[in-house]
């Protein structure tokens, strides 16, 4: 696996967990780099079960959400699953407003709840 600059990766059996390393990396100049890293990761790893942990994320741009939608579509076409956990209230509200919570994305309050849902 290629080393990631913005995310840490943990393996829990057949689930791969991605976690943003530093919330400061979500500033505007780095959105494109984050998107590219997410896309590269999904392409190289093709995880069957991907858990994205938002615990360190204070704000999530629509550009990053669009990248997650693309990854979700790619994984879904291969029979893969993606789940989210640890979203703060404002980030979760953005997913709700975009009607992505419960439709395109399966969002859980905790890592344990998301892991159990796989």
Pick the closest to residue 19 from 103, 99, 111 (CA basis). 111
Domains of the chain by range and CATH?
7-117 (3.30.750.24)
Q: Is 111 helix (H, G, I), strand (E, B) or coil?
A: helix
- The answer to whether residues 53 and 86 touch, using CB atoms and an 8 Å cutoff, is yes
Q: Which pLDDT score is estimated for 116?
A: 96
Question: Is it the case that residue 33 has pLDDT exceeding 70?
Answer: yes
Kindly report the pTM of this predicted structure.
0.87
Pick the closest to residue 49 from 2, 113, 118 (CA basis). 118
Q: Which pLDDT score is estimated for 6?
A: 79
């Amino acid at each position: 696996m290629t080393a990631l600059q913005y995310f840490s990766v943990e393996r829990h059996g057949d689930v791969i967990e991605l976690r943003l390393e530093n919330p400061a990396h979500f500033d505007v100049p780095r959105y494109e780099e984050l998107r590219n890293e997410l896309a590269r990761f999904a392409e190289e790893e093709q995880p069957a079960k991907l858990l994205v942990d938002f615990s360190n994320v204070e704000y999530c741009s629509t550009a990053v959400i669009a990248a997650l939608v693309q990854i979700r579509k790619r994984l879904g076409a291969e029979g893969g699953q993606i789940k989210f956990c640890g979203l703060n209230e404002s980030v979760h509200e953005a997913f709700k407003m975009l009607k992505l919570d419960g439709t395109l994305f399966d969002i859980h309050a905790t890592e344990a709840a998301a892991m159990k849902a796989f």
